Every structure is written in C-alpha cells, then in structure tokens.
Amino acid sequence: MEFKLYHYWRSSCSWRVRWALELKKVPYQKIAINLLSGDQRSAAQLERNPIGHIPTIEIEPGFHLSESLAIIEWLEERFPEPSLLPRDPKTRAVVREVSHMIAGGIQPLQNLKVLAAVADTAEGRNAWAKKWIEDGLTAVEKRLAPFAGSYSFGGQITMADLCLIPQVYNAYRYGVDMPSKPTLKRIYDTCMKTAECKRSAPENQPDAPAT
C-alpha cells in the first residue's frame, strides 16, 4: 500500500518529510491541505491530527502519524537505508539536538496561527518571523560550525539537514541576513543542488501555484 502524505507545498515541516521519503525512495501519494484556506482545521484533518497541523502521514488504512520528527524517526526505523542519523552516538544525539532546535525552537514561532496572534498587519507578522528566525539561526550557525562538512554533519545528509534547509529557505523569504551565517549558507547551497532536495522543494509540489 502506498503511504498518503497530507502536506502543503510551502510548509517547511512537510518539506522535511517529503525529503526523507525521497531519500529513502519510499513511494507515496501527496494530498494537499491548503493552510491559507484553513484546511488544517477541517473535521477530517482534526480527526487525523487533533492539533490541526500538517504533515500527517497515513501508513496503513486508519493509522496516522503526525509531527515531522516522529515521522522521520519512524521512516528511519522502517527503512534504515540510507540512514539519516550518524552511527556515533554522541554525534547522533547532536543531530537530534539541532533538529529539535529548529523544529521546536524556531519554526513554531513563525507558524501561521502564531503570526495571526502576534500582529494585525503583514508588516508586523513579517518583522516577528524575521526576528525569531534570525535569533534561532544565529544559534544554529554557532552550534553546527564544528560539525559541518558539505552537510550539517560531515558528508552525510542527516535529519538536521532536513530541518535546516526548509528553515533557511524561509529565512530568505523573510529577508534574514544569510551572509553572516556562512556555514548555513554553504550547506543550503550544497543541499539545494541535490535531486531529492529539489524534488521535495516547495516550488516543485503539485499544489504550488503556477509561476
């Protein structure tokens, strides 16, 4: 049976999971949940994920899993190759640390429902998102510098890259200064050239608006 991924083209959390599925060559079907229309709060999506977020994956009829890092960890256990975690236990733990810094400490602050609650104007929402992405990525730059190679952790694409690249993509959207984060910028440029990253990128999703 093919997995069903409930996602949105521009959702950074969805991109993490799409990229993992591409890397592990797992076939899946994409079902668009339009965040701007509020589809994440439809009765059907709340049934799948009561907090009203995407991504959600259906791994067998009636069995859904949400939270991108839980989905990626499940994929890692179910489809171990290529691995998205290094073998060394300490480095493995730091991969998880950086993934959670982004998934727990940066992305939630720019969620649509948070932006709507913190400011009434697009200008105010953009300034808030930019401030917290800037703050968070400055910390990630510092934390990753000693570990980084072509990717966040040496020469292996890990779960940390799956979190980082969509976050840097959003940093560009909000006008965050990236030249001051040379490690992150280098990793972003390298990853964006890989086939799986490109295939899972927002603009290449069927629900992305035609340009």
Q: Which residues bind ligand GSH (CB under 6 A)?
A: 11-13, 35, 40, 53-55, 67-69, 103, 111-113
3-state secondary structure the chain: CCEEEEECCCCHHHHHHHHHHHHCCCCEEEEECCCCCCHHHCHHHHHHCCCCCCCEEEEECCEEEECHHHHHHHHHHHCCCCCCCCCCHHHHHHHHHHHHHHHHHCHHHHCHHHHHHHCCCHHHHHHHHHHHHHHHHHHHHHHHCCCECCCCEECECCHHHHHHHHHHHHHHHCCCCCCCCHHHHHHHHHHCCCHHHHHHCHHHCCCCCCC
Residue 51 or 145 having the CB closest to ligand GSH: 51
Q: Min. distance of Cβ 179 from ligand GSH in angstroms?
A: 26
Residue 57 or 157 having the CB closest to ligand GSH: 57
Residue 74 or 183 having the CB closest to ligand GSH: 74
Q: Min. distance of Cβ 146 from ligand GSH in angstroms?
A: 26
Residue among 140, 112, 137 at smallest CA distance from 126: 112
Q: Min. distance of Cβ 196 from ligand GSH in angstroms?
A: 19
Q: Min. distance of Cβ 61 from ligand GSH in angstroms?
A: 22
Q: Min. distance of Cβ 40 from ligand GSH in angstroms?
A: 5
